[in-house]
Amino acid sequence: MHELKDILSLILPAFFISLSLILIHVYFGTKIFERGVIFADIAIAQSAFLGSSIAFLLFDNPSKELTYLFGVLSSVLFGLLISSQMKREVVFKEGFIGVIYALTSSLSIIVLSKLGRESEHIRYMLTGNILFVSWEDVIKASLIYLVIGILHIIFKMKKESFVSEFFFFSTFGLVVSSSVSLAGVLLVFSYLIVPVLTSKLLFSPRYTLLSSYLIALISTIIGFTLSVVNDLPTAPTVISVCILFFFIALFIDSIKNLKKKKQKLSS
């Protein structure tokens, strides 16, 4: 009984922060798909990684708040660059985002080469340490996500303009910076893209948001359960389950397409 209490006290904050991550990131994921810039999320996440790395370079043992601030400033800056190109054709936008990702990755490696603990920092920023988040972290992050969610409801801009795109990408950068510092780049990327991609294979477009939430939630519950039962790293386990669902959906979609082709041939 005492052991169960210890396990619950450890995983409950992590599970609740995962729920907050799902609510905000799946929403942003659907908007990213609408804009046709699928890899904008990982470019923004990498820019947040760069910002936090610069904080480690400039300051000896910087606080969480300082690394977060540097991550936010960096992600907003590169979000501004991305939003300035959103009126161009899709191929150029994706290419430009690829350039941003390559740039922020290269600069991150240069910065980390000057640190004595670069491998530890890379591992932490990629996979995070979600099991060690506190209830204080949960409350802070959830409040940030709530405020941003409310702002998106109030200032819903249908017209594509530089102002609307900058608002989207700057708030997106703020969310990603907060999330990366808690859960790592890989889990953030997975929550943004994989549930939405899986949903698009299985469900009608009008149910994309709801079904994506459901897929992410089920993946998280299964991932946390497997992690606790088998003593596995939590974030990579959740990511693996989420991607497994995607491949199952891909298989089902392939079977459907095969049947459609056979029906066309027979008719």
pLDDT digits (tens, 9 = 90+) for 126-167: 656 777 788 888 898 899 999 999 988 887 755 567 778 888
- Residue-level pLDDT at 124: 58
pLDDT band at 7 (very low <50, low <70, confident <90, very high): low
pLDDT of residue 247: 95
According to the model, what pLDDT value does residue 85 have? 81
| CB 178 within 8 Å of CB 141 | yes
Question: Measured between alpha carbons, how far is residue 264 from residues 164, 176, 255, 267 in Å?
Answer: 44, 45, 14, 5
> Tens digits of per-residue pLDDT, 235-254?
889 999 999 999 999 999 99
Residue 234, exposed/middle/buried by CB under 10 A (0-12, 13-18, 19+)? buried
> Which whole number is the average pLDDT over 69-75?
87
Conformation bin of residue 160: beta by default, left when phi > 0, alpha when psi is -120 to 50: beta
Token pair of 56 as six digits = 């480690």
Residue 168 is predicted with a pLDDT of 86
pLDDT the model gives residue 41: 78
Strands (E), the chain: none
Between 121 and 226, name the one with better pLDDT. Answer: 226
Instruction: Provide the residue count of the chain.
Output: 267
- Give the pLDDT confidence score for residue 23 in this predicted structure: 93
Alpha carbon 46 to its chain centroid, in Å, reads 11
- Tell me which of 266 and 59 has the higher pLDDT: 59
**pLDDT of amino acid 120:** 58
Structure tokens at 8: 């619950």
Q: Which domains does the chain have, with CATH numbers?
A: 2-189 (1.10.3470.10)
